[in-house]
Amino acid sequence: MNRDELMTMYDFSGKTFAVTGGCGALGGDVVVTLVQCGANVMILDCNLVRLATIKESLGPRGSQIEGFQADVMSRDSLAAAGEAINERFGPLYGLVNAAGGNSPRATVSPDMSFFDIPEEGMRFVLDLNLLGTIMPCQILAKQMVETGEGVILNYSSMNAFRPLTNIAAYSASKAGITNFTAWLAVHLAQNYSGRIRVNAIAPGFFIGEQNRFLLIDKDTGGWTPRGQKVIDHTPMGRFGVPEDLLGTVLWLLSPAASFVTGITVPVDGGFSAYAGV
């Protein structure tokens, strides 16, 4: 394979992607990178406050981005998003399910034991992560079935491999995403088209709004005991930054991974490889 053929694999010109949670820290970088590779991208997010900033950062290429306020836990909202994607950019080729998160309402703490976590808190985290991944696939991937090709990338987590203390609902929901990714990959390939691929990434420890309170001491700005444990167990000795995900994301979305489906790839600085001794 020559250089031109290699570069072509990462040229998404004319292809349409949807990114749920595309205004978030991790999803936003994926949006920008896809646009820089030529793609048209519809951001699906419940909060589009960063949309203008993302578009401006891309200059003239900002016209390749549109935003739609969508709730990944609502079929009606996702159906409306699907129509908006078709009207603005045409048939969907790729879906990146980056929406998700945790909540203090579903987290064990000195003020709340596991036995006291309210049902509402548990349901919110389980629905946001698991249903918020399954339902976009149900509604939006129909367009891929119609065209006979496409790629889906789900966001699992290191919690799917090694459930962490205190965040039962989040860990369980991410494990569900890993399992669902494998199931959907087989289902689509066997029943519809071998040219529709489904994979996932499992980010290690990235600091975001949903876990900041667990990792950074709000008074000192230093690591919490939990944050220090993560650093100690990560051979690379640091937390991830959004850019660390982009190489794996692009590979899984591109023709370079045309024979790869049903897997979850850790991007974790070696956390899952390290036994602690």
Task: For residue range 178-217, list pLDDT tens digits in order.
Answer: 999 999 999 999 999 999 999 999 999 887 666 777 788 8
Does residue 186 belong to any structural domain of this protein? yes
Q: Which member of 155, 170, 192, 274 is catalytic?
A: 170
Percentage of the chain modeled with pLDDT above 70: 98
Does residue 272 belong to any structural domain of this protein? no
Three-state secondary structure call for residue 158: helix
Instruction: Please indicate, yes or no, whether residues 137 and 212 belong to a single structural domain of this protein.
Output: no
Where residue 103 sits, what CATH number does that domain have? 3.40.50.720
Instruction: Please indicate, yes or no, whether residues 137 and 247 belong to a single structural domain of this protein.
Output: yes
Q: How high is the pLDDT of residue 7?
A: 75
In order, the DSSP letters of 79-138 are: HHHHHHHHHHT-S--EEEE------GGGS-BTTB-GGG--HHHHHHHHIIIIIHHHHHHH
Does residue 121 belong to any structural domain of this protein? yes
Does residue 270 belong to any structural domain of this protein? no
Instruction: Please indicate, yes or no, whether residues 30 and 165 belong to a single structural domain of this protein.
Output: yes
Instruction: Please indicate, yes or no, whether residues 145 and 223 belong to a single structural domain of this protein.
Output: no
For the chain, how many structural domains are there in total?
Answer: 2
Structure tokens at 61: 């290429």
Instruction: Please indicate, yes or no, whether residues 113 and 215 belong to a single structural domain of this protein.
Output: no
Q: Is the pLDDT of residue 173 over 90?
A: yes
Q: What integer is the mean pLDDT of 30-51?
A: 96
Q: What is the pTM of this model?
A: 0.93
Does residue 273 belong to any structural domain of this protein? no
Q: How far is CA 217 from the centre of its chain?
A: 26
Closest CA to 97 of 174, 160, 191: 174
Instruction: Please indicate, yes or no, whether residues 104 and 233 belong to a single structural domain of this protein.
Output: no
Q: What integer is the mean pLDDT of 64-74?
A: 97
**Is 93 tagged catalytic?**
no
Q: How high is the pLDDT of residue 277?
A: 84
Instruction: Please indicate, yes or no, whether residues 234 and 103 belong to a single structural domain of this protein.
Output: no
Q: 78 or 8: whose pLDDT is higher?
A: 78
Q: What integer is the mean pLDDT of 147-153?
A: 98
In which domain, by residue range, is 21 found? 3-204+241-265
Q: What integer is the mean pLDDT of 234-260?
A: 95
Q: What integer is the mean pLDDT of 260-264?
A: 98
Q: What integer is the mean pLDDT of 212-238?
A: 87
Instruction: Please indicate, yes or no, whether residues 212 and 199 belong to a single structural domain of this protein.
Output: no
Q: Is the pLDDT of residue 26 over 90?
A: no
Instruction: Please indicate, yes or no, whether residues 112 and 225 belong to a single structural domain of this protein.
Output: no
Instruction: Please indicate, yes or no, whether residues 133 and 18 belong to a single structural domain of this protein.
Output: yes
Can you list the alpha helix ranges (DSSP code H) found in the chain?
3-8, 25-36, 51-57, 75-88, 119-126, 132-140, 142-147, 168-191, 212-215, 225-232, 246-253
Q: How high is the pLDDT of residue 44?
A: 98
Q: Is the pLDDT of residue 1 over 80?
A: no
Q: How high is the pLDDT of residue 213?
A: 75
Q: How high is the pLDDT of residue 215?
A: 83
Does residue 271 belong to any structural domain of this protein? no
Instruction: Please indicate, yes or no, whether residues 164 and 230 belong to a single structural domain of this protein.
Output: no
Evaluate the CA torsion angle 256, 259, 262, 268 in order and state its sign. Answer: negative
Q: What integer is the mean pLDDT of 40-68?
A: 96
> Mean pLDDT in the chain?
94
Q: How confident is the model at residue 122 (pLDDT cuts 50, 70, 90)?
A: very high
Q: How high is the pLDDT of residue 232?
A: 93
Instruction: Please indicate, yes or no, whether residues 55 and 108 belong to a single structural domain of this protein.
Output: yes
Q: In what order do the strands lie in the sheet with 94-97?
A: 65-69, 40-45, 16-20, 94-97, 150-155, 196-203, 264-267
Does residue 58 belong to any structural domain of this protein? yes
Structure confidence by residue, pLDDT tens digits, 81-119: 999 999 999 999 999 999 999 999 999 999 999 999 999
**Phi, psi of 203, deg, nearest 5:** -60, 145
Q: Is the pLDDT of residue 77 over 90?
A: yes
Does residue 274 belong to any structural domain of this protein? no
